[in-house]
Amino acid sequence: MPVAVKTSYLLILSILLNGIRLSAQFPVTQPWSTSLSVTFGNGTAPIGPPLSTGYSDFSYTPVVDVIPGTYNVVYSENDAGHLFYGPFTMGPSSTGYKMLLYYNAASSGKTLYRDTLHNLCGSTKYLFWAGINNMYPSGCLKPELIFSVETTTGTVIATFDSGIIGGALAQDNYAWYYGYFDRTKKPKVPFYGMPVTLPPGVHDVVVKIMNKPSNAFYQCYAELEIDNIVFMPIGPDIRISSPKFLGGWIVGSCFQGNAPLVLNGKIESGYQDFGTANYILQQYNQPAYQWQESRDDGYTWTDIPGENSINISRTFGIPDTFWVRMRVSESTDIGNKNCSNVSNILQVEVDGLPKDFDLSTNSPVCTDGDLNLKVTGGVTYNTFGPNGFYDNSAFPHIYHPPLRDSGWYYSEIMSFGGCKGVDSEYVRIVGPDLKISAGRPICYSDTLHLHASGGTLYNWTPATGLNNAHIANPVAQPLVSTTYEVRVTDDSGCSAYGKVDIPLRDSFLLADFTSPEVVCPGDVISFRDTSAGQITNWNWDFGNGNHSNLKVPPAQTFSLLNNIFLPVQLHVTDTAGCTLTKKKYIRVVNNCFIAVPSAFTPNQDGLNDYLYPVNAYKATQLDFKVFNRNGQIVFHTRDMNKKWDGTVGGIPQASGVYVWMLSYNDEKGKHVYQQGTTALIR
C-alpha cells in the first residue's frame, strides 16, 4: 500500500438541510465493501430475515415489538440509506431494512454483531463503521458501543468507543458520512467507527460491535437502529465523471451506438479522514484500474471485462439502465476486490428511441403575430426552418415573422442519452409583402427619403425627425443616429414590420455667424463665426468679391451702394466631411445721416407718402413724436420702421405745419435730441 502523509486542516463544507435539493458538486456514493457490507436487505415486507447463527448475542424475534435482549429486522422509510448524495441520504434509497435492537442493563456487555472476514490485505488501511441511531436519547440507559477489530486468535488490533450515542456533542463521538466532517450539528443518521491498519501478514480478522456494561437501573433500556455495517479499504478519493454530463450523477447513451458513453477517472491527492478535520495525503505507487457495473441498484457489483484503464468509452446495442463505478488498488492487489478503493457511482441510462414526440405550431400566423412552435417528447431539441432558422429550446418562436418564414420546420427530438427522433410541420405566414428602402449614413441636418410598400396603412416610429409618420415615403431629418421602424398593414388586417437604420456621420453641426444688418458709408465690418461642431474648415464669401478660409476672417469694406442687399455666406466642414452653409443678407446704403423731411404728401402716389426719421438704421432707443398746432400728439413710435401716414384713428388730418420731436442714441452710444416742423401737404 502507498505511504500516507497526514496533514491537518479545517475542511470548510456547506452542509445543506434535509429536504433541500442538493448541489451537483457532491458525488453520489454508497457504503460498500466486498469484505463486509451489511444493509439488512431492501425488501418491502414489514419484517426482514434474521442474521446467521452466531452473528449476534441477541436473539431474533419475528415481531415488531422487541423485548430486552432481542432484535428484529424491520422495513423502514427512514433507515441509514443505501445511496448518498454527498453526506445526505438520497431519495428512495433511504428505504429498506435495518436492525432494531432493544436492551437493558441486564443485557449490556454483549455483542450486537460479529463477523469473521477473510482474504484481506495486510499493511492496508480499512474503515470499520456503521450507521447507528438512538431511538430514545432521553432514556436513563445511555447506550455506548465498542467497535473492535481482532485477529482470529483474539488479539485486539484496534478499538473505538462510540461515546454516548445521542448524547451531547462532547459525549457523542459520531461522524458524518465517510469523507465529510461537520461537528457543528448532528447528521440525520450518525455514523460511528474507526480506521484501522492491518498488521503485515494479517489477512483474516474478527470484527465486533459490543455494548458497554451499564450500572443503570434494571428497568432502564435503550433501543438502537443499526444499518450499513461496513469494513472497507480506504485510500485516495477516486472520482469518475462524464465530460458530456458535467456535475451530474446520471449519464446517458443511445442504444443505436451513435452516442458513446465516455467516462473519465481521476485519483485525488488524498482523502478526508473519517470523523476528523484531517486531510490525509496519499498516492498509489502503481495504480491499477477496474471498472464495475451493478444491475440491482448498487447492492452487488461485477467487473466489466477488459475495462482496465482510467477512462472508459462504450457503445450499446439495446436500451438499458445500470450503475457504474471504478475500483483502484496497487497493481499487485487488483485481483483481490477486498483490497480495492472505489469511486463515486454514476447511473447510466441507455435510451431507446424517443416515444410520443411531437412538433406543433400555431400556423397560420400574421406577420405581426408571434409564430410559436412547441416540441415535446425529448430532453433536448434542435429545430431548423427557412432562412437559416435554428433554435434549441422546447418552445421556438419568431416574433413578427416575415412572409419568407413560410415553409417546412424540422425538429430533432433527442432523448437524454442522445437517441434521435424527427418531426416536421409546414408553417404559413400571411400579411403584407413588405418592401422597404435601405438606410445609409447621412450628415447632421441632411434629409433622406424613406420608402415602404406592400400595404394600405403606414405608421413610422419614432415620429421624431419625420415630416409625416403616416405616409409610405416620409422625409427623415434625424438629429441623432436613428432606427426608424415602419408598421405596414394590408386589407386583411395583418401587419408587417421593417426597419431603416440612419446613422449620422457627425453628432452635431451648425453653421452660423454674426454681422451687422446695415453697412453705412465708411463702415469697416467684422464677421464672427458662431458655428458649432467639430469643424476643420471655413470658407467665407462676403458678396463684395472677397473670400476667406479663416475661422476669424479679416474685416471687410463695401462700395457705396444705394440700399442694396448683398449675400454673405459661410461654408463649414467638420471631421466627418460633412458640410453646412449659412447665408445672410446685409443692407449696403449710401447715407446713414438721420433726418426728418420738411414736408410730405400722403396721397398714396408712392412719393413722400409718410413722415418718419430716414436713415435711422443704427439708431437705438429711438423716440419720434408729431404734434398738431394745438399741441396734441397725433403720432408716436419707438420703431424706426413705423411711419406716420397723416391720419389719426384712420381720419386724415388737415394740411398745415406739424411739430416733431426725435431722440435716439447713435452708434457710438451718444444721446441725440432733435426737433423741427414738417408741412403736411394734400
Give me 626's grid cell: 408729431
φ, ψ dihedrals at 519, nearest 5°: -115, 120
Residue 2 confidence class, pLDDT cut points 50, 70, 90: very low
Q: Is residue 23 over pLDDT 80?
A: no
* Averaged confidence pLDDT in the chain: 91
Beta carbons of 94 and 79 less than 8 angstroms apart: yes
138: which residues sit within 8 A by CB, 6+ positions away? Answer: none
Query: Which alpha helices (H) appear in 233-318, and where do they start and end?
Result: none
pLDDT at 25: 61
Mean pLDDT across 288-307: 95
**Alpha-carbon distances, residue 398 vs 47, 371, 391, 395, 405 (angstroms):** 60, 5, 10, 10, 9
Query: For 27-37, how does the pLDDT look when each residue is reduced to its tens digit (9 = 90+)?
Result: 999 999 999 99
pLDDT at 125: 96
Q: Is residue 22 over pLDDT 70?
A: no
Q: CA-to-CA distance for 249 and 24, rounded, in angstroms?
A: 8
Q: Is residue 20 over pLDDT 70?
A: no
Q: CA-to-CA distance for 325 and 29, rounded, in angstroms?
A: 10
Domain residues of the chain, as ranges?
4-233, 358-430, 438-496, 509-588, 599-680
Q: Is residue 21 over pLDDT 80?
A: no
pLDDT at 4: 37
Q: CA-to-CA distance for 56 and 58, rounded, in angstroms?
A: 5
The yes/no answer on whether domain 599-680 falls in CATH 2.60.40 is yes
Mean pLDDT across 409-425: 95
Q: CA-to-CA distance for 589 and 584, rounded, in angstroms?
A: 16
Mean pLDDT across 324-349: 96
Q: CA-to-CA distance for 29 and 532, rounded, in angstroms?
A: 74
Q: Which residue has the cell 419568431?
A: 398
Residue 77 confidence class, pLDDT cut points 50, 70, 90: confident
Mean pLDDT across 50-69: 91
Task: Kindly compute the dihedral angle of the four CA atoms of residues 451, 455, 456, 459, in this order, to the nearest 10 degrees.
Answer: -60
pLDDT at 12: 30
Query: For 214-256, how does the pLDDT look when each residue is reduced to its tens digit (9 = 90+)?
Result: 888 888 999 999 999 999 999 999 999 999 998 889 999 999 9
pLDDT at 93: 65
Strands (E), 589-655: 599-600, 620-627, 633-637, 647-648, 651-652
Query: Which residue, among 18, 153, 164, has the nearest Cα to 78 in the 3D structure?
Result: 18
Strands (E), 57-155: 59-60, 70-76, 84-85, 88-89, 96-104, 111-117, 125-134, 144-151
**Alpha-carbon distances, residue 402 vs 396, 406, 473, 481, 488 (angstroms):** 16, 8, 21, 25, 12
Query: For 96-151, how does the pLDDT look when each residue is reduced to its tens digit (9 = 90+)?
Result: 899 999 999 888 889 999 999 999 999 999 999 999 999 999 889 999 999 999 99
Q: Does the pTM of the predicted model rise above 0.85? A: no
Beta carbons of 522 and 486 less than 8 angstroms apart: no
Mean pLDDT across 518-543: 93
Query: For 445-458, how does the pLDDT look when each residue is reduced to its tens digit (9 = 90+)?
Result: 899 999 999 999 99
Mean pLDDT across 267-283: 95
509-588: CATH topology is: Immunoglobulin-like (2.60.40)
Q: What architecture is domain 358-430? A: Sandwich (2.60)
Give me 535's grid cell: 469643424
pLDDT at 11: 32
DSSP 504: B
Task: Kindly compute the dihedral angle of the four CA atoms of residues 622, 627, 631, 637, in this order, to the nearest 10 degrees.
Answer: -40
Do the domains 599-680 and 358-430 match in fold?
A: yes
pLDDT at 43: 80
Q: CA-to-CA distance for 267 and 109, rounded, in angstroms?
A: 42
Q: CA-to-CA distance for 51 and 602, rounded, in angstroms?
A: 139
Q: Hey, is 518 helix, strand or coil?
A: strand
Q: Which residue has the cell 465516455?
A: 262
Mean pLDDT across 388-417: 95
Q: CA-to-CA distance for 200 and 158, rounded, in angstroms?
A: 15
Pairing of strands 420-427, 599-600: unpaired
- On the 0-12 / 13-18 / 19+ scale of CB atoms within 10 A, 437 is middle
Mean pLDDT across 377-383: 95
Percent of the chain with pLDDT over 90: 78
pLDDT at 262: 95
Q: Is residue 501 over pLDDT 80?
A: yes
Three-state SS letters, 341-388: EECCCEEEEEECCCCCCEEEECCCEECCCEEEEEEECCCEEEEEEHHH
Query: Which residue, among 653, 502, 500, 520, has the nearest Cα to 594 in the 3D structure?
Result: 520
**Alpha-carbon distances, residue 24 vs 27, 261, 269, 496 (angstroms):** 7, 20, 21, 47
Q: Is residue 15 over pLDDT 80?
A: no
DSSP 27: P
Q: CA-to-CA distance for 608 and 600, rounded, in angstroms?
A: 5
4-233: CATH topology is: Jelly Rolls (2.60.120)
Greatest mean pLDDT among 17-31, 550-564, 612-626 lies in 612-626
φ, ψ dihedrals at 358, nearest 5°: -160, 145
The gap from C-alpha 165 to its chain's centroid, in whole angstroms, comes to 48
Query: For 613-666, how does the pLDDT look when each residue is reduced to its tens digit (9 = 90+)?
Result: 999 988 999 999 999 999 999 999 999 889 999 999 999 999 999 999 999 998
Q: CA-to-CA distance for 515 and 568, rounded, in angstroms?
A: 9
Q: Is residue 369 over pLDDT 50?
A: yes
